[in-house]
Chain A
Amino acid sequence: MKTSKEQLSQYGGAIYSFLILFIVLGLVYFFFLPKYDEIKILQDAIVQQTKELEETSSYLAYLTELAESTLGIEQSIIDYALPSDNDVVSLMVTYEGLSAFPSIDLAPLNISPGLVSSGKSVGQQSEGQGGQSIDVKSFEFTTKAESASEITVHDFINEIYQARRFLTIKSITLSRDTEKSLYALGLNLSAYYLPPFTIAPSPDLVKKGKDQNAFFEQLKNTKLYDQLVLDGVPVGKTDLFSFE
């Protein structure tokens, strides 16, 4: 009959091995595997967070830049090119500036009463906040010039397209005086405005705006005639006789 000491001595190895195995399995199951999973989750989360941090930092930097300088410039450029109302003064200033183009004798601007206020919708309508429609309005006017050379006509068309107040030429008619090799020019022009609207602020729109920088650079290089035509008269008035 073996004593308990002898039995322990005989099965001690097995118990010991079992204990070690139990500890190892316990460590692996309760510590290593859960921590490994957590590490994987954390690594993925860090990749996402780094990306999000880069995006938010870049977005924040852009917003800060806008707040400090760019937005004011952009607003003034876009509001001049496409005013919120039928800004007659900027149109007249632009027209007078164009009239000063050398070697062309442009007829005075003739806008019939009511034409400016009854602009018709152009382009695609889009929806603003609360289902409000964002709708560009246009009004057309005609003008003519006598005795311009072919090169002057080309340059003058380019000049119209260079004006800060956005104008499009709807149609053009050129009649040639065969004796003088000069052209009589008839133009049908369109000016535009975008009535005020509200829109929910959105990071997507802001980011889209960032992609419009190249277009803004082009707009920056467009021509203003304020100093040429008017000295000290502010542009942006709809009522020509108001003092404000």
Chain B
Amino acid sequence: MSITINLRIKKKHDMDWQNTRRLVTSGSMLFIFFLLILGGIEYGYWQYLTNKSNELASDIATNKDRIRALKDIEEQKSLVTVKTTKLQELFTKRFNYVAALNDVTNLFSNTIDIRTIAINESGECTVDAKKSQELRIDPMYKLTSTIKTLRLTLTIASSDELQEIIRNITTFQAQGLASASVGKLVRLEDGSYQTDLTLNFNPSISQPPERSIQ
């Protein structure tokens, strides 16, 4: 009896193993090569960013040096800024008298004949006037100034007119008008009467419009 050994099977097995090894070796080499390329790209990008950062740092340092050289300008401008801020504070507090005078005239819809007007920057307004028509406040009128209080000393022809005023004052309406009251009544030598009306306004409702220096 003879023994037959199939050498071809072993040889085929060896060849498969060698092919696999070759494939793994080539694959891993390729992978390492790919990693090295990737590393190179990453390094290049890092180098680019480092250079860019250095350039920026250098530009910033140059700018700072030049700014330091202009320190006297910085100092003078700081002084100007403080002065301007102070002037702006004063400017915003400046009372708009033209608007206040218009408000006094327009609020009563020309139903009074004004003799004197005194206004101060706190928004307190005192008016001495003679009633020319039935006293009326325009309900649609919105104050354009920051008048807070309006004290109206009104001369009327008869006491009947006073009753009319007291009756009307309860129905006074105007935008921003907070309260209205009648004060003392004085009988004058010529037989006419003088009464004091006080109107208080809410400045938050009657906001003045924006204005410029003019």
Contacts and interface: CB of A to CB of B under 8 A. Distances in A.
Interface of A: 12-13, 16-17, 20, 23-24, 27, 31-32, 35-36, 38-39, 42-43, 45-46, 49-50, 52-53, 56-57, 59-60, 63-64, 66-67, 71, 74-75, 78-79, 81-82, 122-124, 126, 128, 134, 136, 150, 153-154, 157-158, 161-162, 166, 168-176, 178, 192, 194, 197-203, 205-206, 208-209, 212, 215-216, 218-219, 221-222
A173 B118 contact: yes
A49 B115 CA distance: 69
A203 B63 CA distance: 14
A122 B74 CA distance: 27
Contact of B116 (A42, A64, A176): A176
Interface of B: 21, 24-25, 28, 31-32, 35, 38-39, 42-43, 45-46, 49-50, 52-53, 56-57, 59-60, 63-64, 66-67, 70-71, 73-91, 93-95, 97-98, 101, 113-121, 212-214
Contact of B97 (A24, A169, A221): A169
B213 to A, nearest CB: 5
A113 to B, nearest CB: 25
Contacts of B83: 78-79, 82, 194
B63 A53 contact: yes
Contacts of A52: 56, 60
Given A176-B114, A201-B75, A218-B213, A209 B80 contact: yes
Nearest to B127: A174
Contacts of A136: 86, 90
Contact of B39 (A32, A57, A176, A208): A32
B82 A56 contact: no
B116 A209 contact: no
13 contacts: A13-B24, A16-B24, A32-B39, A42-B53, A45-B53, A53-B56, A53-B60, A56-B63, A64-B70, A79-B83, A169-B121, A172-B119, A200-B78
Given A134-B86, A166-B87, A178-B115, A205 B81 contact: yes
Contacts of A215: 84, 88, 91
A221 B212 CA distance: 11
Nearest to B20: A13
Given A67-B70, A178-B113, A194 B118 contact: no
B80 A218 contact: no
A57 B63 contact: yes
A123 B89 CA distance: 7
B121 A49 contact: no
Given A35-B42, A53-B59, A46 B80 contact: no
Contact of B214 (A53, A162, A176, A205): A162
Contacts of A71: 73, 76-77, 80
B117 A202 contact: no
A222 B38 CA distance: 68
Nearest to B116: A175
Contact of B101 (A20, A153, A203): A153
Q: What are the 4 tightest A-B residue pairs by CB atom distance, in nearest-first order?
A: A209-B81, A56-B63, A49-B56, A201-B75
B115 A176 contact: yes
Contact of B86 (A39, A79, A82, A198): A82
Contacts of A81: 87
Nearest to A173: B118
B116 A174 contact: yes
A141 B74 CA distance: 37
A71 B212 CA distance: 23
A240 to B, nearest CB: 24
Contacts of A38: 46
Contacts of A122: 90
